[in-house]
Amino acid sequence: MAWIALLLAGICEIGWPVGLKLGWTDAGPRPAWIAFAVIAMAASGALLLWAQRTIPMGTAYAVWTGIGAFGAFIIGILAFGDSASALRIVSIGLVVAGIIGLKLA
């Protein structure tokens, strides 16, 4: 159950950078997106807190941030036109490999 909570925490971790990205435009703030970011942060932190009760802290934190980083990377490419260069893809692959290694260790 702790790993499911950690997976959900990682998914919520993706929500707050997206909310912040959409929360401010040239026209000014967009409060609904900023609120979404704050809610995603709170949910992410609460689920991480719960997961760390049984998963070692270092492993939980690395997996949590890794899911967030990978998800933000993919959404950045798909929704915001971020670069999908070979070096960026290889680099995020190394992050994913590290997460898998921590899970297996």
For residue range 51-79, list pLDDT tens digits in order. 999 999 988 999 999 999 999 999 999 99
Selected residue with higher pLDDT from 96 and 37: 37
CB atoms within 10 A of CB 28: 7
Q: Where are the domains of the chain?
A: 2-104
Bridge partners (DSSP) of residue 105 are none
pTM summary value: 0.87
